[in-house]
Amino acid sequence: MASAAVTICTHSSSKIPDFPVGADGRPVPAMGVGTSTYPPVAEDVVRAAVLSALELGYRHLDTAALYGSERVVGEAVAEATRRGIVASRKEVFVTTKLWCTQCYPDLVLPSLRESLQNLEMDYVDLYLVHWPMTTKPSKPHFPIKREDIMPIDLSGVWRAMEECHRLGLARMIGVSNFTTKKLQELLAIAKIPPAISLRWINEQGASMVVKGLKRERLKENMEIFDWELTDEDRVKINQILQHKKVTVLGILFLEGVYSMDISEADIVEMCSFCRRHAETVG
Ligand SMILES: NC(=O)c1ccc[n+]([C@@H]2O[C@H](COP(=O)([O-])OP(=O)(O)OC[C@H]3O[C@@H](n4cnc5c(N)ncnc54)[C@H](OP(=O)(O)O)[C@@H]3O)[C@@H](O)[C@H]2O)c1
């Protein structure tokens, strides 16, 4: 399963490999633990799951202003440090995200500072723009009213993200849920290009985040690093028609009217193999 680009973590006993990244970023563990729960569960449950994950050897934690889990993630890392499960906060790769209600150039830095306060940390390893969308400023919430959606000032927001990086508060900056079109817009203006994140398969050479509140499942998920797909499996999987889907509808209230055209925020993409396959089979 490991590709040539993968190195095994040297900073812990974890068997989860690291993916090296650019010159100024630290390696990203190939698998992280998600902390989004919907409907929300008790904080104690999330804190215990994160602590279990750290005990098992996970070193990548995924949180967000929206998830309401930043505080418990910070507490779990502090507890793990006290107990000697991790040598220090530096051993853990922490990602958090800017929610749509804060997606304004002048709110990016204060939002990151608030997240850092929740986490009780001096920096995050990765700060992501959660969605390429801006809504009326307020506390992070979900679902979003359609009429509250406004066009995003992508250039201004990304400049502010770059400032977070420059100040050392975010070691890396990136985006999630961006369509190819939005990414192209961003790449055209970015001085620091974004790290694209979440849920890619290890064999495709990207880091992924899994969520599991049960320790035995967290353990089971790490076992993917113990075996490889056979060539036959790879051929079969490659033949499955794959769509990449990014849909904004899941984070909106069903009622209401759009205050802007959001059609470009929903996209279904096919990989080139699948496109050829679809053309062949008609
Ligand atoms: N950037 C974004 O917009 C975005 C979007 C979606 C997700 N995420 C991140 O990615 C994380 C994962 O999201 P997701 O949508 O993939 O997860 P999910 O569907 O919310 O949760 C995973 C489910 O799989 C179960 N599970 C975990 N390991 C299992 C195993 N070995 N066997 C059987 N069931 C298992 C979990 O059960 P238990 O919890 O009961 O163990 C849970 O019900 C989130 O927590 C979040 O951090 C980010």
183-241: pLDDT as tens digits: 888 989 988 876 543 643 566 666 777 778 888 888 877 877 776 677 776 676 667 66
16 part of a folded domain = yes
**124-129: strand order across its sheet:** 195-196, 170-175, 124-129, 93-98, 60-62, 31-34, 208-210
Q: Which of 124, 144, 211, 217 to mutate to test the pocket of ligand 1 (most atoms within 8 A of CB)?
A: 211
CA proximity to 44, closest of 6, 4, 71: 71
The most confident of 13-22, 126-135, 141-150, 228-237, by mean pLDDT: 126-135
Omega cis (within 30) before 39? yes
263 part of a folded domain = no
Domain enclosing residue 51, as ranges: 7-226
Task: Kindly report the protein residue whose alpha carbon is nearest to atom 29 of ligand 1.
Answer: 217
Residue 11 is predicted with a pLDDT of 43
- The rounded distance, in Å, linking the Cα atoms of 12 and 91 is 8
pTM of the predicted protein model: 0.82
- C-alpha 209 to ligand 1 mean position (Å): 8
Q: What is the mean pLDDT of the chain?
A: 81
| DSSP H or E run through 135 | strand 134-135
The residues that are catalytic are: 67
| DSSP H or E run through 52 | helix 43-56
Task: Kindly report the protein residue whose alpha carbon is nearest to atom 19 of ligand 1.
Answer: 211
pLDDT band at 281 (very low <50, low <70, confident <90, very high): low
- C-alpha 262 to ligand 1 mean position (Å): 26
Q: Which of 41, 176, 210 to mutate to test the pocket of ligand 1 (most atoms within 8 A of CB)?
A: 210
pLDDT exceeds cutoff 60 at 16: yes
Under 8 Å between Cβ of 256 and 65: no
Residue 7 is predicted with a pLDDT of 31
What residues pair up with 173 in beta bridges, in sequence order? 127
132 part of a folded domain = yes
- C-alpha 213 to ligand 1 mean position (Å): 9
pLDDT exceeds cutoff 80 at 260: no
175 part of a folded domain = yes
| Whether the CB of 36 sits within 6 Å of ligand 1 | yes
- C-alpha 223 to ligand 1 mean position (Å): 16
The dihedral of CA 71, 103, 97, 88: what is its sign?
negative
35 part of a folded domain = yes
| Whether the CB of 137 sits within 6 Å of ligand 1 | no
36 part of a folded domain = yes
The count of domains in the chain is: 1
209 part of a folded domain = yes
Task: Kindly report the protein residue whose alpha carbon is nearest to atom 27 of ligand 1.
Answer: 212
114 part of a folded domain = yes
Q: Which CATH number is 104's domain given?
A: 3.20.20.100
Residue 1 is predicted with a pLDDT of 23
Mind listing the pLDDT tens digit for each residue in 43-69? 999 999 999 999 999 999 999 999 999
DSSP code of residue 199: -
pLDDT exceeds cutoff 70 at 277: no
Mind listing the pLDDT tens digit for each residue in 72-123? 999 999 999 999 999 999 999 999 999 999 999 999 999 999 999 999 999 9
Task: Kindly report the protein residue whose alpha carbon is nearest to atom 18 of ligand 1.
Answer: 211
Residue 276 is predicted with a pLDDT of 60
